[in-house]
Structures are given as C-alpha cells and as structure tokens.
Amino acid sequence: MSHMFCFLIISDFSPAGILTKKTKLYKDTSRLEVPLLRKIVLFLVLTLLISAWSGVYAAPAPAAPQAKPVIDLPQINSGQSTESAGANQLLELSKVRWANHTEAVTGAAKLRLVMDVSGGPVEASGVVVATPTPRLVVTIKGTTPGKSVENINFDGKIAEKVTFDTSGQDTQVIVDLPVMLEDGDYRVFTLRSDAQANKPFRVVVDINKPAPVFDFSFTPGLKNKVIAIDPGHGGSDPGAIGPSGYQEKTATLAVAQNVKNLLEKAGARVIMTRQDDRDVYGPNATAVDELKARTTVADSRKADVFISIHANSFTDRAVGGTATYYYQKTRYDAMLARALQTGLIEAGKLQDRRANPANFYVIKRTRMPAALVELAFISNPDEEKLLSSPEFQQKMSLGIVRGLERFFDQAAKLN
C-alpha cells in the first residue's frame, strides 16, 4: 500500500524543475501563489511520506532484552524498495518438535514442545486460561508460523491438541488441556542459537502433569463442603424430549436449583455450571467443548464432589426407573454414586436401575469424585409427567441431598 501511494505522489510532483519553470513563466504575481502552494504541499507530502516509510522500516526489532537480532533490518535507501515495502518483518517459526515422558515409578508425565525460530531471538510467554476451556496460551512475539508448522493432536493425557495461530505481529500457540493447570505445572523459556551445534534459536514449552494423587480427606456432614451441581444440557441443547414435549434441560435445572437451596441451607457452598437456560460453553458448541466447560467450572473452583443431573430416554416408552453412573478414578466415585442412588430410590420410589460404571465425559474428566444421575425416563409418559411436577422435582432433590450426606459420612470413615 505505502509503495503504491509513494509512486503516485512522485509521478505528480517529482520533476521539480517543471515547477521552477512555471514560476518563471508566470510573471503575474497573483499566479505565483500557486507554485508556492505546490511547494508547500510537496514538502508536506514528502514529510508524510518519510514518516510513513519509517513506520514500516523502523518498527521495533523483535529482539529479546540483551540480545541483538541476528538478521539485519532493511535500510531506508531510496524509494525503490518495492519488495519489502509494506511486508511484515516477522521472524518465522520454522519447525516444531515434541516429546512425551512418563516416569515409571511416580507416574508423573511431561510434555515438551520445542519450536525453532529462524533468525531469533524472540520473546515468549505463557498464560493459563480456564474459559472457555482449559488452555495454555503461549505468545511468541514478532513471529509467524512457517508453512511447515502444523497443528498437533495429542492423546489427551497431558494435552489434547496444539494449534498455531497468528495474533497481530505474534504467533499464538494454543495448547488445549484436559484439565486446568496450576502455575507451577508449566514453563515457557527460550534457548539461544548455537552455531557450533547447528541449533537455531528455540522456544520451549514444558507441561508437567503431576502424579495422579487424589488427596481427598472427607469429613461427615454437608457444612462447608464445596459441591458442583451440573444441570444437564441447556440453551441450544434441550437434551431428551418427552412424548408430550417436556424437555430434559428444564427438569435438570429445576432439580439442580432445589438441590442448591437445600445444600446451602445445610451450610454447603454450591457451584452451578449453569444457573439458567443456557449453554455453558456457548450456543451450538461441539459436545466436547460444552462438556469440558462444565468440568472446568468444577475443577477451577476446587469442588469436593461433582454431580451431573440428567433424565434418561429410550425408544421403548415402557422403560423407566432411576440410575446413577460413575467412573472410578478415585476411591470415592462408586461410593458417591451408590449413596446418591440409594437417596434417589428412597425419595422417588421408581424402579432401581442401580449405580453403574460408565465412561461419560463429565464424570471421567473431573478431578474430584463425580456421579451422573438419571432421575427418571423422560421417554416414559408417566415419568415425563413426574419429571415436570414440582413435587417430584423436590422429592428427587431431597434424595440427592440425603445421598450426599450419606456419602460424606461413609467417606469420612475411609480416612
């Protein structure tokens, strides 16, 4: 852009001799003002032009403190620098490597990402964000991802995936994480280039996943417990829909709000993944993003237990009953599910479909003991009616709270 601008201006004004001739031709003093004005305009335009050029070329060198750029920045020489005019003077991320390491004894795992920067040094820094999903965002200043740099998919043990993006003059390396990291769990640093070892300037990201220690110590009672309640579905996702049109998301929210009130009366602190009819991540997010947003809420607020509330559905409308699911990642998950299931059956008196193991995302990916309850079958016309009635909603809420009391009493005995 600036080169084009420059060319047009010069073709109009640069034969300065013409102006002089014209000045001589027009002896008429009234006309003398015109060339004079032109000179002033020319002067102003050139001044503007020079400042525009220095804006392009004199941009601060993307250098780290105490480090001198290895490459030379383009010099202002003539107006003919057509190649570089307007082009970004960004260094390039030329290559990305990674390695995984797991300690056999402790189970602690480590992921190292190494990014080569041709012509570095550059500055890099990282920050962990919890929303919309857990991420480590590394900003590498004054760089752009090279053509060979591709996004990487991981197994989700330490990282889900790494995405390379540009943000203004910087590269953003976005590491999607399965769970929130603490500040001490990652490190971003740079390594100088080493000509002898033929190594370029490097940006290194280390992510440490500590050994899976589940250090829970439960006491009896609900007082001061931090309980995450996840009303299933919401917003753009109605969940299952009953034969007469009642939606799962409505029942789960009503029961969750009752549970919240009861727990708070008992002195517990309640964290809701949603308080109203909305998506937790955002409208029409992918299923995983939406579920991860829910586990992130519980993880980042350090809940003691996590309960996801749902209603079941099946093609056969005669099928009904209450079930609870768990993923045994701590020694408490099954215990929590059984206690909740007992509470729910005592309260609602529906068919006991028991506490069962399952691989559901929200109970697997939360750090704390978790359970997913299926209150009743919304596909069953009788149970749909129950689910929509405030009396049954309140009964089942009480069942959940009694189940939680039972759980903390049992868990306290394990200490």
Helix and strand numbers, DSSP H then E, in the chain: 9, 16
| Binding to Zn ion, residues 378-397 (CB under 5 A) | none
Instruction: Give the nearer residue to Zn ion in terms of CB position, either 143 or 313.
Output: 313
Longest dimension (CA), the chain: 110
Minimum distance from residue 313 beta carbon to Zn ion (Å): 8
The CB-nearest residue to Zn ion is 310
Question: What is the number of alpha carbons within 13 Å of residue 271 lying toward its C-beta?
Answer: 21
Q: What distance in Å separates the CA atoms of residue 81 and residue 275, rounded to the nearest whole number?
A: 60
- According to CB under 5 A, which residues from 310 to 369 bind Zn ion? 310
Q: In angstroms, rounded to a whole number, what is the distance separating the alpha carbons of residues 378 and 385?
A: 8
Within positions 180 to 239, which residues make up the interface with Zn ion, using CB under 5 A? 232, 239
- Please return the burial class of 236, using the count of CB atoms within 10 Å of its CB with bins 0-12, 13-18 and 19+: middle
Of 145 and 232, CB closest to Zn ion: 232
Give one word for 317, left, alpha or beta, with left for phi > 0 and alpha for psi -120 to 50: alpha
Convert residues 263-302 into a mask of x (bound to Zn ion by CB under 5 A) and - (unbound). ----------------------------------------
Shortest distance (Å) from residue 361 CB to Zn ion: 12
Q: Are 201 and 120 within 8 A, CB to CB?
A: yes
405 is catalytic: no
Of 225 and 294, which has the nearer Cβ to Zn ion? 294
Q: What are phi and psi of 349, to 5 degrees?
A: 60, 30
- By CB under 5 A, what part of segment 237-256 binds Zn ion? 239
* Separation of alpha carbons 24 and 22, rounded Å: 5
178 binds Zn ion (CB under 5 A): no
Contacting range for Zn ion; rule: CB under 5 A; set: 43-51, 135-143, 278-286, 304-312: 304-312
| DSSP structural state of residue 80 | T
> Nearest distance from residue 233's CB to Zn ion, in Å?
6
User: Which of 290, 374, 383, 384 is the catalytic position?
Assistant: 374
CA 128 to CA 186: how far, in whole Å? Answer: 9
Name the minimum Å distance from CB 290 to Zn ion.
12
Interface region with Zn ion, contact rule CB under 5 A, candidates 206-214, 308-316, 319-327, 375-383:
308-316
Residue 197: other Cβ atoms inside 10 A: 6
Segment contacting Zn ion (CB under 5 A): 2-10, 220-228, 305-313, 364-372? 305-313
Report the amino acid identity of residue 72.
Answer: D
Q: Total number of residues binding Zn ion (CB under 5 A)?
A: 3
In this complex, which beta carbon is closest to Zn ion, that of residue 126 or of residue 232?
A: 232
Cα 335 to Cα 352: distance, rounded to the nearest angstrom: 16
Interface residues toward Zn ion, by CB under 5 A: 232, 239, 310
**Which are the catalytic amino acids?**
374
